[in-house]
Chains A and B, each alone.
Chain A
Amino acid sequence: MTDTAEPIDAATANSGGRSLRFGTKAYLYASLLIVAAIIIIPLITTALGGFKTLGELRGNAFGLPSTWMWSNYGDILMSHRYWLQMGNSLLIAGLTVFLVLALSAMAAFVFAHVRFFGSQFLLNYFLIGLMFPAATAILPLFIRIRDLGLLDTYWGVVLPQVAFGLGMSILLFRNYFRGLPSELFDAAFVDGAGYFRFFWHIALPLSRPIIATVGIISFVGSWNSYILPLIMLNTESRYPWPLGIMVYRGEFSTDWQLILAFITLTITPTIVVFFAAQKHIIAGLTAGAVK
């Protein structure tokens, strides 16, 4: 960057399309590659470590395995627990996404398009939820779930997750609904449509982008969540994978090759989905922040 002192070079360096000077380019790529290596090396060595023996990890954690221990991965993939945990996570995340979408779209529609006394107050009430994490009230939450008889059930995790997701989701939906052109409403109402038909046949079909955003935020949040299942679930057969990974580590405490294989298999779905749908996921996860 220091070699862009001349105005002409500075101009080409920053306006897209034209090529950069060789020195600038080398500097850019060197920096980017170093950072990329720091990101990727822990991930690659984790995946490779799963193919090694424990003895080999001691001296050769970076390189390729001398003999590929496919059985480390094979045993996990053949085991009931891996698929069970993935299934549990999927079920919990699926229920959470469905409920967040349904409840927040409905509530947000009212806030966006129905004028009534106290609507501003109620909206602000929901926005209180944005101000503190679920962890602050985790003990009373545990007692509430216990008293409702939902301890150690999927609902005991799903319902608090949905509740804590509502603030952000309602806000995103409401802002989106408000942005729909008002001519649509006038036309619909002139044609005799009521609020329900308008919501179902016009507003929702036009809201695919925001449905995707809210869906992605809730899905990723639920898929990765740890503290709520940790507190609400006791039975191992109901554990989602982040809890399962901790249990697995507890069992095989120093058999790092197995733990590494297990970690790799549990994060593979995330990585595959991320690269397959990167545009939507990045947009979704940063939308909540920027909007």
Chain B
Amino acid sequence: MSQIAPALEAAPTAVLHTRRRRGVRGKWPIIVLFLPPALVLFTLFVILPMGEAAWYSFYNWNGYGLPTEWIGFKNYELIFKQSAFRNALINNGLIIVVSICVQIPLALWLATMVTKSIKGAVVFRLIFFLPYVLADVAAGMIWRFVYDGEFGLVANIYEFFGQNAPFWLADKNVAFSAVLGVIVWKYFGFHMMLFIAGLQAIDKSVLEAADIDGATGWQKFFKVTLPLLGSTVRLSVFFAVVGSLQLFDMIMPLTGGGPSNSTQTLVTFLYSFGVMRMQVGFGSAVGVVLFVICVTLAFSYKRIFMRND
């Protein structure tokens, strides 16, 4: 997603220029043989389904036969009437807020520490990145155990203090906060890696110059390092937004969207209300809404914040 703009801008015109003097000999065979496989697959399984989603979204259809019962914008009206959908929207928003306010500062803080020359820095980096490599489903399952009120780690901690443990994931007021914790646990390592790459790209002489001018550690961080990491921060936020909109795999083993739809995200909402009930029209409409949100956020974010990156 993030790659679109840089790729288009980066097209090196100098290379194109030298290429021109070479003949066009044998050009068409390779085009005709090399492009179509990817093109056909991509059209069949990415572009057409998205177009079909827009089409199906105007029908009441269970997926069998042809869609015939045209109901106009009814599916869309239904979506926005559902409180579960509002929960999903709010939850996706909360994930983004927590990513920006908790996860990214945490990732940056850790990145500054593991790029110092201390023993074991590489081992810490590996450990911090490990949750990101695990499957979302496995991570969700592990944390379901952690949060379990009878056999889990939380239960054991409460018992240690002589208390009865709550079932966090079964309490609609607490469940989503618990899910947010797992999200931070699972993904901060990825953002940390982005920041490590960003920190390593900073010219050391700039920091040395700041030293000579007598800057303190804090001053150097906020006046030199952070501004130079601007593009990395913007990239990191971008991935947090994109990741939030796709979140599904981890929610399923943790809560499945419950209790009382309090942990739905847009994709789990689509799954629970479209796929599970085989409401193809309604589910497609949810897909279209999700698509519009993705594209709008991606484009406006790039326009506003990443124009110069």
Contacts and interface: CB of A to CB of B under 8 A. Distances in A.
B197 A245 contact: no
Interface in A87-144: 102-104, 106-107, 109-110, 113-116, 122, 124-133, 135-144
Given A132-B295, A136-B287, A36 B124 contact: yes
Interface in B244-277: 245-246, 248-249, 252-253, 267, 270-271, 274-275
B162 interface: no
Interface stretch (B80-88, B90-98, B168-176, B213-221): B213-221
Interface in B158-209: 159, 185, 190, 193-194, 197, 204, 207-208
Interface in A163-190: 163-164, 166-168, 170-171, 174-175, 178, 182, 185-186, 189
Given A14-B220, A32-B114, A139-B56, A144 B143 contact: no
Nearest to A4: B217
Interface string A215-246: 00000100111110001000000000010011
A18 to B, nearest CB: 8
B306 to A, nearest CB: 13
Q: Could you say which of A7, A45, A61 has the most chain B C-beta atoms within 10 Å of its C-beta? A: A61
B142 interface: yes
A43 B249 contact: no
B239 A289 contact: yes
Nearest to A18: B117
Interface in B127-164: 127-138, 141-143, 145-146, 148, 150-153, 155-156, 159
A103 B156 contact: no
Nearest to B283: A139
Contact of B290 (A58, A60, A125, A132): A132
Nearest to B25: A194
Q: Could you say which of B3, B52, B290, B291 has the most chain A C-beta atoms within 10 Å of its C-beta? A: B3
Interface residues of A, number: 121
Interface string A233-262: 000000000100110010000101001100
B270 A256 contact: no
Nearest to B32: A110
B41 A10 contact: no
B151 A114 contact: no
Given A135-B267, A137-B46, A271-B130, A103 B190 contact: no
B156 A115 contact: no
Interface stretch (A66-74, A78-86, A205-213, A278-286): A278-286
B4 A130 contact: yes
A264 to B, nearest CB: 9
Interface string A147-172: 00000000000011011101110110
A270 B130 CA distance: 10
Nearest to B265: A135
B53 A107 contact: no
A28 B6 CA distance: 36
Contact of A182 (B15, B120, B155, B208): B15
Given A139-B275, A260-B145, A263-B138, A107 B39 contact: yes
A39 B127 contact: yes
A275 interface: yes
Nearest to B113: A28
Interface string A13-32: 11111101000010011011
Nearest to B30: A195
B10 interface: yes
A143 B130 contact: no
Given A107-B34, A178-B15, A224-B137, A40 B216 contact: no
Interface of B: 1-4, 7-8, 10, 12, 15-16, 18-20, 22-27, 29-31, 33-35, 37-39, 41-42, 44-50, 52-53, 56, 63, 109-110, 113-114, 116-118, 120, 124-138, 141-143, 145-146, 148, 150-153, 155-156, 159, 185, 190, 193-194, 197, 204, 207-208, 211-212, 214-218, 220, 235, 239, 245-246, 248-249, 252-253, 267, 270-271, 274-275, 280, 283-284, 287-288, 290-291, 294-295, 298
> Nearest 4 A-B pairs (CB), nearest first?
A163-B45, A224-B135, A137-B49, A140-B52
18 contacts: A5-B217, A10-B220, A28-B116, A45-B145, A57-B151, A58-B151, A107-B39, A109-B30, A135-B270, A137-B53, A139-B63, A142-B63, A178-B15, A227-B271, A242-B138, A256-B152, A281-B133, A291-B3
